[in-house]
A and B are shown apart, each in its own frame.
Chain A
Amino acid sequence: MPDGGGSTPEPITRLIEAFHKLPGVGPKSAQRLAYHILRAPEQDARNLAAALVEVKQRIMFCSVCLNITESDPCSYCQDPRRDRSIICVVEQPLDIMALERAGGFRGLYHVLHGVLNPMDGIGPEDIHIRELLTRLQSGEVKEVIMATNPSLEGEATSMYIQRLIGPAGVKVTRLARGLPSGADLEYTDDVTLARALEGRQEL
């Protein structure tokens, strides 16, 4: 912070502090951003302010799949052309964007907003597993695709959910795990390589 008040006008100090709260923004970057706003055209600043307010006022979580949305239910849950018998479970809303970009999936989603992380005290009640169970009660859903990250925490979450909903008779599948494009075999870890070998396909 500049000089602990005194010469810096109060609104600037407040702006610097606001930027400083953002992730990855240190005190120097916060100052630079604040002075950038000060020099920028007023309209830019107004747009930024309006966007900030709007995102908090108009964006909510879909009451069905917990995706972030402007209208409830979200556009995926409302779309009559999507297959209601398949739910793809993801960690974060951004994962839905990635899957949509990839194309090829026409079912519904469910966002957990996190993964199980017992060492940090994040348990099943801290992520949205219960809402998934509620969705399965209608009997309409035939398959749940676990699309959590292939990390220890993501795998643990998948296995937990699989064991939880297994008795409901719903098929639980997991995204294939193996080599990402552009990978080097030489640097690939043993677990991934073994899985890739098992999941090989005829050319």
Chain B
Amino acid sequence: MSDRPRVYTTEGVILRRRNIGEADSIFTVFSPTEGKFDAVARGVRKARSHMRGHLEPLTRSKLLIAHGRTLDVFTQAETISGYRAIREDLDACTFALYCAELIDRFSADREPHQDVYSLLLDVLDALDAKAPPHAVRHFELSLLSFMGYEPQFDACALCGARLAEEDVLLSASAGGFVCHDCRSRAGAGRVISVRAIKVLRYTRASSLAQFAALKLDEQLGREVQSAVAELIRYALDREPLSGKYLDQVARLPRLAPPVSDRDDVQSL
């Protein structure tokens, strides 16, 4: 114990913040070397804090952290990527927060997972580059695979038979697509169109960036979204908290933002 260095360095993406006391906050960080962990930043809510902007949620930062008795303490932080475009777009910001929640819920404390970290960076980079919403599907399905919940998309999840070129049942409890013969014993599920099947399978054959480049019409986008949402809900055994907010933002009216005519005020 006494040989243990007092501080360690890592990088990580800030997933969430909880304020405690007068000016401190506890941040949940996801790091490629440390996994998910909580650490406290003292005085970070004061205007003159040196670490304030570097520890905002959805920031990727280099971190110097001191071992603490109960909680580790941030001693230095410097932004690697601030993902400004995500911050300034309601949709991107909503999707990114949803991804952060999934990472938080699916990962255990202090269990590093390099692939999941790369996946998180991929989705944040994509959203920062204004990727369409369905990029998040690739993230969700890859995350499920890394976490051991990879759905069976190639054959019937129950009997292993080849699937015909037709609508199939997607059953979260069966663990993937279910062929026509097995439907009666598959439990709850939803019928997925041939087009959506192809999209879901393409997540396996593509990188996140390639998948994001796909053009999906609105109906297909929605079908794939609700199919994957069901798989996530089943794996988590609960609804992600940001899921409802995602729907609320999607229902908002979409108009070009009003342009401010004064130059000393910034229009949103």
- On A, residues with C-beta under 8 Å from B are 24, 116, 118-121, 123-124, 145-146, 151-153, 155-156, 158-160, 162-164, 166-167, 169-174, 176-177, 180, 182-184, 187-192, 194, 199, 201
Are B59 and A164 in contact (CB-based, < 8 A)? no
Contact with A along B184-228 (1 / 0, CB 8 A): 000000000000000000000000000000000000000000000
Decide if B152 is an interface residue (CB 8 Å cutoff). Answer: no
Residues A174 and B48 in contact in the complex (CB < 8 Å), given A119-B16, A189-B82, A190-B82: no
Task: Give 24 A-B contacts (CB < 8 Å), ordered by A residue.
Answer: A24-B21, A118-B245, A119-B15, A119-B97, A120-B241, A151-B56, A152-B93, A153-B57, A156-B93, A158-B268, A159-B93, A163-B252, A166-B258, A171-B258, A172-B258, A172-B268, A174-B266, A180-B47, A182-B47, A182-B48, A189-B79, A190-B79, A194-B84, A199-B266
Q: How far is the CB of B136 from chain A (nearest CB, A)?
A: 14
Are B245 and A123 in contact (CB-based, < 8 A)? yes
A171 partner residues in chain B, CB cutoff 8 A? 258, 260
Contact with A along B226-268 (1 / 0, CB 8 A): 0000000000000001101110110011110110101011111
Are A119 and B241 in contact (CB-based, < 8 A)? yes
Q: How far is the CB of B65 from chain A (nearest CB, A)?
A: 17
- On B, residues with C-beta under 8 Å from A are 15-16, 21-22, 47-48, 50-54, 56-59, 79, 82, 84, 87-90, 93-94, 97-98, 100-101, 104, 241-242, 244-246, 248-249, 252-255, 257-258, 260, 262, 264-268
Are A173 and B267 in contact (CB-based, < 8 A)? yes
Are A167 and B253 in contact (CB-based, < 8 A)? yes
A190 partner residues in chain B, CB cutoff 8 A? 53, 79, 82, 84
Known: A121-B242, A190-B84. 14 other contacts (CB 8 A): A118-B98, A123-B245, A145-B265, A155-B87, A156-B94, A156-B97, A160-B252, A176-B266, A180-B48, A183-B48, A187-B51, A189-B82, A191-B87, A201-B264
Are A163 and B90 in contact (CB-based, < 8 A)? yes
* Nearest opposing residue in chain A for B266, CB measure: A174
Leading 8 A-B pairs by shortest Cβ distance: A189-B53, A118-B242, A118-B245, A191-B82, A159-B90, A187-B50, A121-B241, A173-B265
Q: How far is the CB of A50 from chain B (nearest CB, A)?
A: 27
> A66 CA to B258 CA in the complex, in Å?
27
B56 partner residues in chain A, CB cutoff 8 A? 151-152, 189, 191
> A75 CA to B267 CA in the complex, in Å?
29
A194 partner residues in chain B, CB cutoff 8 A? 84
Are A156 and B79 in contact (CB-based, < 8 A)? no
Are B53 and A156 in contact (CB-based, < 8 A)? no
Given B21, B262, B265, which contacts A174 in the complex, CB threshold below 8 Å? B265
Residues A123 and B248 in contact in the complex (CB < 8 Å), given A155-B87, A156-B93, A166-B253: yes
Are B255 and A167 in contact (CB-based, < 8 A)? yes
Q: How far is the CB of B46 from chain A (nearest CB, A)?
A: 10
Q: How far is the CB of A154 from chain B (nearest CB, A)?
A: 10
Most chain B CB inside 10 Å of its own CB: which residue of A146, A153, A190, A194: A190
> A151 CA to B56 CA in the complex, in Å?
7
Are A146 and B268 in contact (CB-based, < 8 A)? yes
Are A118 and B241 in contact (CB-based, < 8 A)? yes
Q: How far is the CB of A197 from chain B (nearest CB, A)?
A: 12
Are A152 and B82 in contact (CB-based, < 8 A)? no
